[in-house]
């Protein structure tokens, strides 16, 4: 596959990144509603409409800056509000709500990987449609895999931190929760130092390898 220019990359990456971030948040709201908390539903956040989830800084500005400065895309959408007191079983349900986001990313990665196979099947007769489809689908697989793995890191306020907090005994969970104000500082420090990439990429590669069309993704990126 041919290398993409910067403009082509932005065009190909925009839709997969937008939906990877926003549907991740919508999944949290959907699961919270299933578990008894209708806060996100009443605020209109249980929707696939990206406009309901976009954070101008985290969904637009930061991803563009990190892409141009480092080639690595980092971003977030507006967090979905969850009122834990409304959950039927708060400790268990908070873990389920947290898992819903990465779970949505895994399903999207699978869906994009199947679209790669469709694109390959259209070659060479419909190259004009197949090539953009393959590139966009490859980006979808990559970014959903990255977002899933990143959010499963056991650091608050990431989903992995929420899951771990729900599994810990109450005494240890309380102590762990006190680290949350420093979570983003820790994450940014790991990103700047390069440690985050060393942790993420082997796991992301493993996820991609189990999906259909993994060879195409590796050729593109």
Burial state string for 67-89 with b = 16 or more CB within 10 A and e = fewer than 16: beeeeebbbbbbebebeeeebee
Q: What is the pLDDT of residue 71?
A: 60
- pLDDT score for 206: 95
pLDDT in tens, the chain (221 residues): 556 677 777 778 888 988 898 899 999 999 999 999 999 999 999 998 888 888 887 777 777 777 666 666 667 788 899 998 999 999 999 999 999 999 999 999 999 999 999 999 998 888 888 998 999 999 999 999 999 999 999 999 999 999 999 999 999 999 999 999 999 899 889 988 989 889 999 999 999 999 998 888 888 77
User: For residue 213, what is the enclosing H or E element?
Assistant: none
Peptide bond into 205 cis (omega under 30): no
Note the pTM of the prediction, 2 decimals.
Answer: 0.90
C-alpha 85, offset from chain centre: 26
Per-residue model confidence as pLDDT tens digits over 11-30? 788 889 888 988 999 999 99
Q: Catalytic positions, please?
A: 25
């Amino acid at each position: 596959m041919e290398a993409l220019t910067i403009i082509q990359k932005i065009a190909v990456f925009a839709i997969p990144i937008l939906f990877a971030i926003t549907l991740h948040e919508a999944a949290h709201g959907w699961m919270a509603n299933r578990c008894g908390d209708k806060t996100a539903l009443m605020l209109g956040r249980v929707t696939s409409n990206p406009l309901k989830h976009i954070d101008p800084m985290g969904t637009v500005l930061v991803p563009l800056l990190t892409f141009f400065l480092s080639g690595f895309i980092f971003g977030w959408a507006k967090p979905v509000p969850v009122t834990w007191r409304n959950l039927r079983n708060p400790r268990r349900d908070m873990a389920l709500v947290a898992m819903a986001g990465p779970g949505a990313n895994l399903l999207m990665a699978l869906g994009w990987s199947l679209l790669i196979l469709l694109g390959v099947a259209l070659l060479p007769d419909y190259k004009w449609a197949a090539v953009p489809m393959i590139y966009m689908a490859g980006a979808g697989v990559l970014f959903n895999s990255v977002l899933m793995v990143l959010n499963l890191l056991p650091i608050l306020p990431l989903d992995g931190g929420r899951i771990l907090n729900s599994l810990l005994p109450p005494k240890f969970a309380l102590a762990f929760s006190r680290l949350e104000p420093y979570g983003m500082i820790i994450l940014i420090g790991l990103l700047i130092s390069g440690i985050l990439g060393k942790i993420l990429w082997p796991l992301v590669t493993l996820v991609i390898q189990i999906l259909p069309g993994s060879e195409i993704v590796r050729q593109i990126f």
